[in-house]
Every structure is written in C-alpha cells, then in structure tokens.
Copies of this chain bind each other. A is one copy, B any other.
C-alpha cells in the first residue's frame, strides 16, 4: 500500500452502537410478542472505583436496549458463604437470564469458587470452566466479552482471517488465551495460523513482523512501535491503560498498547483507543445476555 493511503479505522464505537440498535429492535419485537425482555443482574462487592464505573455502564447499556437489569450491592465484608448464596439465588431466579459477579473480589473471597458456582447457562461473562471448555471444543456457550467483541468487529469489517498469520501478545485467561483459541478454530472468523506471545517470548519483534493480524493485549501503553509492524497488517489494540492527563476533565487519558501514529501509516486497518475494542467488549455482554434470554424463552 502506498504511504498516502490511510488505514481503515475499525470503529468499535460506531459498530457497538449499531449492534445496540439491532438488539433494541430485537427486544422490542420480543416484548411485542408478549415475551419477557432479557434481564441482566450484576453483583458488585465493595466500593472499588473502577468496578463501580464498569457496573454502572453495564446497567446503563441494559436500559438503552430495553433489557431489565438488577444491581446487587454487597459490602466488602461479605463472607464466602453469603456470596455463594447470592449466586445460588440468582441461579434459581427465573426472572434473571444472565448475571455477572464483577471482578476483582475482595482478597478473602475465593474468586474461582464463586465463578464455578454460577449456572453456566447464566454465565454471560463466559468465565465458568464449562464455557471456556465449550469454546475450545467449538461447542455452543458464552464467550468472554473481549475476544468475542473482537471477532464481531473483524466480522463486520469483513477482515479475512482464514490462512492469515495472527499474532496475539498476552496470555490472560480472559483475553489473550481465548483470543488465540477462537481465531485458530475452523469457523467463519477463524482458520488463522495463530502465534501466542507473552512475557517469556524471545525475539518478539521477529514474530510481530510476520503478523498479518496483530492483537496486542498487554496493558503496556505504547509497547508496540511502528518497526514491529508488517506493511499492510491489521492492528487490533486491546490495551486500555489509564494514563494521567491534565488536559482531560477526568484527569486521565486511555492509552492503547500500540503507538497509533507510528502504526497507522503501515496498517491496512487499525482500532483506535478509545473507541475500538472497549465498546465492543461492552456490547458483547449485551449480546450474551440476549442469547441467554432467548435460550430461556
């Protein structure tokens, strides 16, 4: 591609907005037919600022598309048994189609035990081992929000993945690892040759330079520089780190893992930060909740 060609901006914000409209239309149709609107519950333990913000977004998103929503707040002194009871009640409550327990949980709580207690059919975060296993096996289930949001973004922009070399940087349980698995599967947005890189990888640049599709998910602002990118690559930047910025009202700016200015002249397509992967992650939870509601309808 010539240097004057601008890359396609993979606009997650607009795409997520489109998807919310589609969901809203679907929900309106369900309600018109006398069906129950999908209902999401969120459990928020303690007063972590970040968690509070995320949960509020989730509730707001539900309202926008016409879902029911329930926010359950618990003090950070809640015991393991009490929290397990909250989960059990939600599992058994027929009004609730899907629910999430916002992470992280206080240190005295066994997070894994809580996740395992969630009914996999209501686990719209896709964190339960059954849902992770279903993803690996290509069976139906709930996919975790960030990787499924990225798949949806690639699908809507008709980015070819089959036979492409996709390099994922970062092996977290909720982003890098599932992303690498999803893209290698024999599915529509899949069939890529996938390399999963992480903190122990040597010669990272040698590998990223081979990437037709590069997906950094490290949370290290500006980690990926222009010289690490192959001409014409598709760049999906998962990083969203808060960096102090006095020029913003909030006092911080969101920075991606990629140096956008260096990457965009080389890329054929690229996600901005903010407005790329973040909104797609948010809307994935709505898609999972819609799916949960329909499964129970």
Q: State the number of copies, please.
A: 2
Interface class of chain A by DSSP:
mixed
Residue from B130, B134, B137, B202 within 8 A of A193 (CB atoms): B202
Please give, as numbers and ranges, the residues of chain B lying within 8 Å of A133 by CB-CB distance: 128-134, 136
Does A259 sit within 8 A of B, measured CB to CB? no
Which of A36-44, A70-78, A177-185, A222-230 interfaces with chain B? A177-185
Neighbouring B residues of A131 by C-beta, 8 Å: 129, 133
Give the complex CA separation of A185 and B131 in angstroms: 19
Q: A133-B133, A139-B112, A177-B136 are in contact. Are A185 and B171 (CB under 8 A)?
A: yes
Residues on B with C-beta less than 8 A from A173 are 136-138
Q: Are A136 and B181 in contact (CB under 8 A)?
A: yes
The listed residue (B112, B191, B194, B202) touching A195 by CB distance below 8 A is: B194
A112 to B139, CA, bound (A): 9
Distance between A164 CB and nearest chain B CB, rounded to angstroms: 8
Q: Is A196 an interface residue (CB 8 A)?
A: yes
Kindly state whether residue A13 has any CB partner on chain B within 8 Å: no
0 or 1 for each of A135-152: is its CB under 8 Å from B? (1 = yes): 011110100000000000
A200 at the interface (CB under 8 A from B): yes
Q: List 22 A-B contacts (CB under 8 A).
A: A129-B129, A129-B130, A129-B131, A129-B132, A129-B133, A129-B137, A129-B139, A132-B132, A132-B133, A132-B137, A138-B173, A163-B201, A163-B202, A165-B202, A171-B184, A180-B196, A184-B196, A186-B200, A193-B200, A193-B201, A193-B207, A194-B196
